[in-house]
Amino acid sequence: MPTESENEVRTGVLAATAAYLMWGFFPLYFIVLRGVPSAELLVHRILFSVPLGLAIILMRGQWSEVRRGLSDIRILTALAVSSVFIAANWLVYIIAVQHQHIFQASLGYYINPLIYVLVGVVLLGERLRPGQITAVALATVGVLILTVYGGTFPVVSLTLAISFTIYGYVRKRASIGAMPGLFIETVLLAPIAAVALFFMVTRGDAAIETAGPGLVLLLAFAGPATVIPLLCFAIGARRLTLATLGFLQFIGPTIQFLIGLADGEPFTFAHKLCFGFIWSAAAIFAWDAWRTHARPMRPAPVGEVD
């Protein structure tokens, strides 16, 4: 009979895998909504996340943490900064999918962990392990091949990776959990989103103004599609080692890559070379993380993910 610890790990793997699967299939949602302007999709993503986030906060009994975050000027300032970067990340991602740049979006999330490593070196004075140096070097070669040989500088990829890295770095320094932090971020963004939607409706540019019930439901789904994966990730991160999460995190961009293929994006020889180097870098990065953290270790701190 499984022990309590084994059940915890199993629950963590299922929850984290569910989060990465949902993030992986996310492009399908924006492909279906290609007729809706990207800015409007961002607005709905923010606005519909607020009520669902509030419901989850109340259900999990985390309102006191929300209140603490709103009353602490350092936490509130950090969340104001992080909200800007996550909103920029969301908007670039939506634009990338709607304009058939899913390969670049996938590439961005493949290299995101490597950008985190570089931030640790530059800002925190951390030292790279040999496996990390190899992974970063291979990823750099892949990006250069796509830029020089393919003639396409991966603006989308680097913007997604860098914006999400900055977001993660700022959030890590804010002493608040994932769900309360996300709720406050969407609350801070909501007034701006509401004003933007008002002007879209005033100009007659808002798709929701003439939308039927089906489209309205699809637009409202932006809330659950934003909040639920993060909740699953928080549950998983509390129960798993960083090494296990390191392996699972490549599920998302791999699914995104396959969706890009199915969506008919041109997969040039430069793309093949680039992704060959990126996949090699990802494999070495995951192997290095597993080798380093394979011994029993604590899960990610509760305060960072709860």
Q: What is the pLDDT of residues 17-44, one digit of tens each?
A: 999 999 999 999 999 999 999 999 999 9
Query: What pLDDT, on a 0 to 100 scale, did the predictor assign at position 194?
Result: 96
Mean pLDDT of 9-13: 86
Specify the DSSP element, H or E, that contains 152.
none
Which residues, 6+ apart, have CB-to-CB distance to 301 below 8 Å?
Answer: none
Task: Give the confidence band of 242 by pLDDT, cuts at 50, 70, 90.
Answer: low
Query: What pLDDT, on a 0 to 100 scale, did the predictor assign at position 301?
Result: 43
Q: If you count them, how many residues does the chain have?
A: 306
pLDDT at 253 exceeding the cut of 50: yes
pLDDT at 279 exceeding the cut of 50: yes
Question: What residue ranges do the domains of the chain occupy?
Answer: 4-100+155-251+287-305
DSSP H stretches of helix in the chain: 4-32, 38-59, 63-71, 73-98, 102-124, 130-144, 155-173, 178-203, 213-220, 222-239, 242-248, 251-262, 269-293, 302-305
Residue scoring higher pLDDT (148 or 14): 14
User: Lowest-pLDDT range, 89-103, 145-159, 214-228?
Assistant: 145-159
Cα-Cα-Cα-Cα dihedral sign, residues 221, 82, 286, 230: negative
Torsions phi, psi for 249 (to 5 deg): -65, -15
Which residues, 6+ apart, have CB-to-CB distance to 99 below 8 Å?
Answer: none
Q: Judge contact between 112 and 197, C-beta under 8 A.
A: no
Query: What pLDDT, on a 0 to 100 scale, did the predictor assign at position 291?
Result: 78
Query: What pLDDT, on a 0 to 100 scale, did the predictor assign at position 20?
Result: 92
- Can you read off the two tokens belonging to residue 177? 């959990």
Distance between the two ends of the chain, CA-based, in angstroms? 28
pLDDT at 151 exceeding the cut of 90: no
Euclidean distance between CA atoms 99 and 93, whole angstroms: 10
- Determine what percent of the chain is predicted with pLDDT higher than 90: 55
Separation in Å, CA 102 to CA 63, 96, 210: 37, 6, 29
pLDDT tens, residue by residue, 171-216? 888 889 889 999 999 999 999 999 999 999 999 888 888 888 999 9
Euclidean distance between CA atoms 47 and 33, whole angstroms: 17
- Can you read off the two tokens belonging to residue 67? 């209140």
Euclidean distance between CA atoms 107 and 151, whole angstroms: 16
pTM score: 0.86
Q: Put residue 127 in one of left, alpha, beta given phi > 0 → left and psi -120 to 50 → alpha.
A: beta
Task: Give the confidence band of 265 by pLDDT, cuts at 50, 70, 90.
Answer: very high
pLDDT at 150 exceeding the cut of 90: no
Euclidean distance between CA atoms 249 and 114, whole angstroms: 12
Chain centroid, CA 173 distance in Å: 18
